[in-house]
């Protein structure tokens, strides 16, 4: 399996992928070659994965340990197709069986070649991928080269290796070069998003020389702290990587002065040649000393990115300190952050002057390198602080930065170090607050909420401003936990000192009213508090999640999108990468509901790449929602059950309600209304569920109407209208009108449907607009207004397909078929109808006629008839060609 980290190196390889696709899908041979680390294997595997058609793939891999064994590579090919081998003519079968060790005797090379060719021809369509061809045994190389020179119809042979052997010299070739700077920079961002300083980025890209493997190697060579903000290593680690050892061994052969120059260059991460020359002068070194490991030009570059950390970590401590001292002296009138950092690295004992310098520049370090850089500065400042009480205070500041950076375990360690000395009450309260916050991250649930509330009470007499902010954090945690503590904490927060009009103060007051006096009283306050925070810049990470849910609670479509996008921007700007996948997942959910499927997919891919690169917590609850949205029953149900179990076990009540809401969407889409009713009742049971209960009530009304439960529907509608009338947004009015239409009949229902569509067209999202067209069309068909029903159902089918809500699209198509929709004969086949487009898309994705028929509740013969019309309109002859003419949405 090709991992995400390996496929990331395919950036900038579109031309190569197209060349491979031509060979893989059309037959023929190709030799892909280039230096180690360029991603040859990943490139071919990606092309194979993207290939159109059912071709079988057979893989052969050369191995250095098997080069001495004749036909070892061919054995890998032929042993996978024993049935075809046994059907060969006698002479060829005997030769092939001998190469496989199934018969005694020496094989005839000519008969082996003819037999292997016959096996591949019989297995066609087939792709033979021969990897690491430089390690292939000679006998296999000759046979495979012969097969590739004149491949049978339907046979493709692709070789990949560092250099083409003489046997392959006459075959078409694809030589891989290094990535361009733009593609290399994009890859660096994908695998090491913490590299934010542009000087460092340019240096790393230049040192990689376009080799993806060199960039990917930095994963294991550098920690986040070592590269954040462009500051040098904060510690030393063993040199264990073979490539790093190679650099160290080469350096040991150099003169002493040259080795010291390499250590100096390795301690300066930005690659500034002027700075290197000044520091070299301090140490009496010649920056022009010749060495193949280092180039000093417009930029100071090592031969490979791994050389710098390897040489630094292998150098003696005294040499590293001397290098940092020289760099600090050279920066006397230069970058304050760099100078402070080098002073810290050169220090031999606690030094308040250096510690104060580090503390002073930690803010600008945060701006340039994010929370990780700030945490590194503050931690080092604490380490160098002589006074124990001041040292504890700085450890707490560093712990907060670590928590902001998304490393709660490291934050907990720093809190413990702060508590190693007696703390005064303000710092003791701050330590308790940090411990409660850390618990809320590592083990979210009722206990973390209780701990935050207790700290808020403790802070009331110590730091009133911090006390109010802590109450707000406790309420936010209570919303997340969903265990009924929100009202109790809100009542306690009423006793806190009055606020001073900050964004946090307004948010706290509004949320307290929401949980003590109800939705109607709180809605105007919530709206104003979120607007105030937004006007103030909305850059405090603590309140972004809360504001996102306030927007949902208020049916504020514009606010929902703003907070989803802004949350990602703020988290990214703060360098808090471990929090970024969750923010991206929420944004992807909002983008999907707006019908922005491509953006949603790209956002989720970015979330996955950051999770892979940083080890951040994976996005857990977006998968069941998107699966429910798409409506593929089995995987969606499995994901929903697993997520519900996980949320219940970890005490995450809000997540459980989101999962139940997802289940309601899934079952309503599939027409399983009794199951939808049960799920929606669970999701909507808690009026204090900030953000989810409103739309859960919409699902509940629809399911109850379909289950002929008028009392349940009426009660849900009443609760919904209490909210929507106060919210006063187009989305709120649209969902209320839609729900009123479902429980109404005759002219009243028609009026409500038209109102719902008008409101949702102006201020809703694609998902709800599509579903409202659907229920309107269903109502019209049941009223025997077939022509009007078709117009609504076509719109519903088209919109649902566009947003990827396949189960709802299938509902629309079933209704269209029930209207007996016909296609007028015409000489011009015209575009695909909504039915045809939907069926074509399912067929493109590999569904059989019987599976498609089951989704649409029609016969397989009807599906076949529709597909025949699709083929005529698209000018194709088979299902296999659908992927080429109907690209993925």
Q: Give the containing element (helix H, strand E) for 455.
A: helix 446-459
Count other Cβ atoms within 10 Å, centred on residue 626: 19
Q: If pLDDT is split at 50, 70 and 90, which confidence band does 22 have? A: confident
Confidence of residue 4 (pLDDT cuts 50, 70, 90): very low
Distance in angstroms between the alpha carbons of the first and the last residue of the chain: 24
Categorize the per-residue pLDDT at 510 as very low, low, confident or very high, splitting at 50, 70 and 90: very high
- Decide if 816 contacts 834 (C-beta within 8 A): yes
- The pLDDT score that the predictor gives to residue 106 is 76
List the alpha helices (DSSP H) in 597-689: 597-614, 622-630, 633-649, 653-670, 673-683
Secondary structure (DSSP) of 862-879: HHHHHHHHHHHHHT--SG
Whether residue 185 has pLDDT greater than 50 = yes
Alpha-carbon span 344 to 376, nearest angstrom = 11
Name the band, by pLDDT with cuts 50, 70 and 90, for residue 438: very high
pLDDT > 70? residue 405: yes
Evaluate if residue 222 carries a pLDDT over 50.
yes
The bridge status of strand 294-296 relative to strand 300-302 is: antiparallel
DSSP string, 486-548: HHHHHHHHTTSPP--S-HHHHHHHHHHHHHHT-HHHHHHHHHHHHHHHHHTT---HHHHHHHH
The CATH number for 822-889, chosen from 3.40.50.300, 3.30.230.10, 1.10.3720.10, 1.10.10.10, is 1.10.10.10
Report how far Cα 872 is from the mean position of its chain's Cα atoms: 40
Q: Which of 34-48, 127-141, 470-484 has the lowest mean pLDDT?
A: 34-48
Residue 784, pLDDT > 50, answer yes
How buried is residue 124: exposed, middle or buried, by Cβ count under 10 Å (0-12/13-18/19+)?
Answer: middle
Secondary structure class of 887 (helix, strand, coil): coil
DSSP states of 198-223? HHHHHHHHHHHTT-HHHHHHHHHH--
| Total-model pTM | 0.71
How far does CA 113 lie from the centroid of its chain? 47
pLDDT of residue 752: 96
Min mean pLDDT across 181-185, 268-272, 546-550 is at: 181-185
Is the CB of residue 288 less than 8 Å from the CB of residue 222?
no
- 389, 418, 636 from 423: Cα distances, Å: 7, 8, 52
**DSSP secondary structure string for all residues of 221-284:** H--HHHHGGG---SS------HHHHHHHHHHHTS-HHHHHHHHHHHT-TT--HHHHHHHHHHHT
Query: Pick from 5, 7, 13, 305: which is nearest to 179 by CA?
Result: 13
pLDDT at position 2: 36
**Residue with structure tokens 């016969």?**
859
State residue 677's pLDDT score.
97
Distance CA 172, CA 30 (A): 5
Mean pLDDT is highest, among 65-79, 218-232, 688-702, 816-830, for 688-702
φ/ψ bin of 686: left (φ > 0), alpha (ψ from -120 to 50), beta (otherwise): beta
Percent of the chain with pLDDT over 90: 36
pLDDT of residue 860: 65
**Residues 707 and 674 sit within 8 Å (Cβ to Cβ):** yes
More confident residue, 16 or 878: 16
CA 844/CA 548 separation, integer angstroms: 37
Nearest to 444 by CA among 410, 470, 482, 471: 482
Among candidate residues 9, 16, 8, 24, the one with its CA nearest the CA of residue 58: 24
What is the CB neighbour count within 10 angstroms for residue 461? 11
CB 17 within 8 A of CB 50: yes
Percentage of the residues of the chain whose pLDDT score is greater than 70: 87
Residue 193's pLDDT is what?
A: 63
The 8-class DSSP code of residue 353 comes to H
CA distance 750 to 420: 71
Q: 280-289, 409-418, 571-580, 617-626: which range is least confident on average?
A: 617-626
Q: Who contacts 368 (Cβ-Cβ below 8 Å, separation ≥6)?
A: 196, 197, 229, 230, 337
What is the mean pLDDT of the segment spanning 22-40? 84
Encoding tokens for residue 772?
Answer: 């409202």
When pLDDT is cut at 50, 70 and 90, the band that residue 772 belongs to is very high
Q: What is the assigned CATH class of domain 4-175?
A: alpha beta
Number of H helices, E strands in the chain: 46, 7
- Average pLDDT, rounded, for the chain: 84
Tokens at residue 727, please? 């919210």
Peptide bond into 125 cis (omega under 30): yes
pLDDT band (50, 70, 90) for residue 699: very high
Structure confidence at residue 239 as a pLDDT band (50, 70, 90): low
**829: Cβ–Cβ under 8 A, 6 or more apart, which residues?**
869, 872, 873
What are the extents of the domains in the chain?
4-175, 220-407, 424-537, 822-889
Residues 46, 17 contacting (CB under 8 angstroms): yes
Q: Where is 808: in which H helix or E strand?
A: helix 806-818
> Residue 64 pLDDT > 90, yes or no?
no
Residue located via tokens 């560093």: 398
pLDDT of the residue at 636: 82
Q: How far is CA 884 from the centre of its chain?
A: 27
Give the model confidence (pLDDT) of 459-494 as tens digits: 998 899 999 999 999 999 888 887 788 899 999 999
Helix (H, G, I), strand (E, B) or coil at 58: strand
Looking up tokens 């280039």 gives: 34
Mean pLDDT of 750-766: 91
Question: b/e per residue, 37-54, with b = 16+ CB within 10 A?
Answer: bbbbbbbbbbbbeebeee
293 contacts: CB under 8 Å, gap ≥ 6: 247, 250, 251, 254, 262, 302, 303, 307, 311
Question: 777: closest CA among 804, 732, 808?
Answer: 808
Encoded tokens for 435: 């411990």
pLDDT tens digits, 511-526? 999 999 999 999 999 9
Q: Which residue has the higher pLDDT, 754 or 222?
A: 754
Distance (Å) of CA 522 to CA 514, 526, 693, 717: 5, 6, 16, 20
- What CA–CA distance (Å, rounded) separates 137 from 167? 12
Better-predicted residue by pLDDT, 303 or 239: 303
Residues 6+ apart with CB under 8 A from 483: 445, 446, 449, 651, 653
pLDDT of residue 676: 95
């Amino acid at each position: 399996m090709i991992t995400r980290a390996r496929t990331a190196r395919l950036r900038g390889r579109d031309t190569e992928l197209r060349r491979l696709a031509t060979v893989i899908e059309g037959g023929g041979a190709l030799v892909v070659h280039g230096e180690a680390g360029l991603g040859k294997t990943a490139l071919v595997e990606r092309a194979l994965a993207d290939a159109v058609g059912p071709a079988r793939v057979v893989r052969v891999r050369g191995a250095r340990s098997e080069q001495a064994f004749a036909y070892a590579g061919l054995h890998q090919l032929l042993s996978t197709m024993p049935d075809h081998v046994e059907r060969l003519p006698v002479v060829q079968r005997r030769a092939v069986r001998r190469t496989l060790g199934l018969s005694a005797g020496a094989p005839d090379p000519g008969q082996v070649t003819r037999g292997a060719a016959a096996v591949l021809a019989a297995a066609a369509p087939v792709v033979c991928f021969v990897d690491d061809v430089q390690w292939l045994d000679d006998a296999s190389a000759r046979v495979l080269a012969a097969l590739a020179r004149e491949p049978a119809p339907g046979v493709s042979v692709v070789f990949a290796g560092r250099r083409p052997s003489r046997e392959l010299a006459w075959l078409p070739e694809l030589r891989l070069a290094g990535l361009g700077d733009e593609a290399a920079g994009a890859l660096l961002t994908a695998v090491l998003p913490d590299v934010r300083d542009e000087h460092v980025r340019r240096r790393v890209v230049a040192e990689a020389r376009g080799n993806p493997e060199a960039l990917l190697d930095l994963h294991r060579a550098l920690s986040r702290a070592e590269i954040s903000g462009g500051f040098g290593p904060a510690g030393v680690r063993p040199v264990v990587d073979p490539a790093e050892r190679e650099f160290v061994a080469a350096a040991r052969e150099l003169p002493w002065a040259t080795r010291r120059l390499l250590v100096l260059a390795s301690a300066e991460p930005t690659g500034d040649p002027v700075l290197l020359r000044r520091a070299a002068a301090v140490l009496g070194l010649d920056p022009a000393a010749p060495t193949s490991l280092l180039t000093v030009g417009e930029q100071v570059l090592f031969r490979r990115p791994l050389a710098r950390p390897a040489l630094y970590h292998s150098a003696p401590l005294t040499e590293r300190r001397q290098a940092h001292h020289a760099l600090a002296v050279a920066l006397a009138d230069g970058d304050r952050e760099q100078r402070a950092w080098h002073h810290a690295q050169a220090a031999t004992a606690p030094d308040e002057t250096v510690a104060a310098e580090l503390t002073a520049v930690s803010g600008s370090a945060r701006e340039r390198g994010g929370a990780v850089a700030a945490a590194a500065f503050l931690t080092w400042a604490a380490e160098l602080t002589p006074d124990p009480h001041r040292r504890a205070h700085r450890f707490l500041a560093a712990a907060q930065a670590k928590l902001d950076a998304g490393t709660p375990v490291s934050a907990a360690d720093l809190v413990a170090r702060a508590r190693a000395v007696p703390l005064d009450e303000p710092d003791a309260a701050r330590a308790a607050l940090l411990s409660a916050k850390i618990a809320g991250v590592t083990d979210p649930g009722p206990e973390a909420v209780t701990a935050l509330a207790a700290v808020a009470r403790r802070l009331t007499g110590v730091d009133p401003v911090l006390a109010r902010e802590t109450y707000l954090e406790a309420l936010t945690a209570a919303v997340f936990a969903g265990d009924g503590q929100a009202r109790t904490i809100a009542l306690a927060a009423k006793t806190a000192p009055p606020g001073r009009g900050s964004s946090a103060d307004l948010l706290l007051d509004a949320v307290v009213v929401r949980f003590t006096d109800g939705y109607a009283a709180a809605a105007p306050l919530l709206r104003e508090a979120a607007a105030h925070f937004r006007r103030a810049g909305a850059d405090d990470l603590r309140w972004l999640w809360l504001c996102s849910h306030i927007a949902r609670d208020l049916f504020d479509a514009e606010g929902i999108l703003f907070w989803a996008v802004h949350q990602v921007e703020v988290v990214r700007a703060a360098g808090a990468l471990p929090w970024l996948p969750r923010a991206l997942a929420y944004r992807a959910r909002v983008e999907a509901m707006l019908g922005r499927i491509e953006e949603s997919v790209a956002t989720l891919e970015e979330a996955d790449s950051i999770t892979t690169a940083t080890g951040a917590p994976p996005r857990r609850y977006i998968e069941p929602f998107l699966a429910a949205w798409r409506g593929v029953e089995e995987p969606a149900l499995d994901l929903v059950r697993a997520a519900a179990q996980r949320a219940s076990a970890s005490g995450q009540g809000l997540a459980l309600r989101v999962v139940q809401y997802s289940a309601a969407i899934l079952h309503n889409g599939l027409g399983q209304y009794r199951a939808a009713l049960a799920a929606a009742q669970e999701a909507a049971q808690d009026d204090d569920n900030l953000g989810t209960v409103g739309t859960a009530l919409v699902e509940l009304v629809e399911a109850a109407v379909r289950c002929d439960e008028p009392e349940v529907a009426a009660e849900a509608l009443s609760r919904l209208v209490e909210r929507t009338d106060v919210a006063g947004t187009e989305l709120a009015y649209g969902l209320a009108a839609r729900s009123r239409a479902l429980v109404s009949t005759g002219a009243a229902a028609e009026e409500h449907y038209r109102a719902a569509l008008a409101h949702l067209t102006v201020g809703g999202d694609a998902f709800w607009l599509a579903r409202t067209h659907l229920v309107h069309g269903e109502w019209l068909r049941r009223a025997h207004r077939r022509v009007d029903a078709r117009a609504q159902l076509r719109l519903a089918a088209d919109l649902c397909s566009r947003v990827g809500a396949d189960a709802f699209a299938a509902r629309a198509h079933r209704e269209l078929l029930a209207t007996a929709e016909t296609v007028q004969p015409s000489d011009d086949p015209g575009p695909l109808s909504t039915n045809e487009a939907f069926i074509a898309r399912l067929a493109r994705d590999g569904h059989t006629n019987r599976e498609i028929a089951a989704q649409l509740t029609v016969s397989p013969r009807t599906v076949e008839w529709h597909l025949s019309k699709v083929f005529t309109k698209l000018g194709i002859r088979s299902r296999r060609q659908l992927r080429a003419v109907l690209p993925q949405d």
